[in-house]
Structure 1
Amino acid sequence: MKNLSFTSLHLLVVAMAALLTGARLAEAVTCSTMELSPCIGAFTSTAPPSAACCSKLKEQQPCFCGYIKNPKLGAYVKSPRAKTVISTCGVSFPKC
C-alpha cells in the first residue's frame, strides 16, 4: 500500500512540474506586434494567411488580450478580417 501511495505522489509531482514548465514557456513569449509582420498581407487583403503567419499567430496567442486592451491596437485585432485570419490559422480568438 505504501508503494502505491508513493507512486501516486510521484506521478502527481511529475505532472505538476510539467504543467509549471508549460506555464513558464507561455510566459517566455515576447509580445511584439512586429512579430506579426508575416500576416500583414492577410490582414490587409483577402489573401490567405501564409504558414509563417499562422505560426506567428500561434506563438503570439498569449499576447492577444494585451493587444486588444491597447487602445491603438484593439480595433485592428478585433476587426472582422483579423478574426478571419486567426480562425483560418486554427487559433482560437481570446475571451478577455
Structure 2
Amino acid sequence: MTPDTLDDLAQQMFWPATKLVAAVHDHDTRTSHTVLSTLDTVELRALAVVLASLVPDDHTFTTLARCTRGTPPVSERQAAQHRATLEAELAHAARTRRQAAA
C-alpha cells in the first residue's frame, strides 16, 4: 500500500473509531459488535492505529482505564459534548474531502 492509500484508509476509520469509542464508554456491546463485525482485517488494523492515535500519551494507564472501573474520567454531559464535537469535525472533514475531489 502507498502512503496515500494508508492515509485514506486511516481517514475512513475515524468514523468507526468514533462510534466504537462511544459504544465502549456507553457499555453498548451491540453497537461495538456491529462496528467491529463490518470491518475486514486490514480495516481492523487501521482502526487500531487510529484508536491508538486518539489516546493521549501523557496520562497513566489508571487514568485512561478509569471508565472500565465504573468511574468515568468525564461526566456524561462532557462525554456527550465531546461526541458531538468529534462527529461535527468528522462531518466537516468529509465534506471538505468531497469538495476537494469534485
Q: Same fold (TM over 0.5)?
A: no
TM-score (norm 1): 0.33
TM-score, scaled to structure 2 = 0.32
**Whose RCO is larger (CA < 8 A, sep 6+)?**
2
Select the structure of larger CA radius of gyration.
Answer: 1
Greater per-residue helix proportion: 2
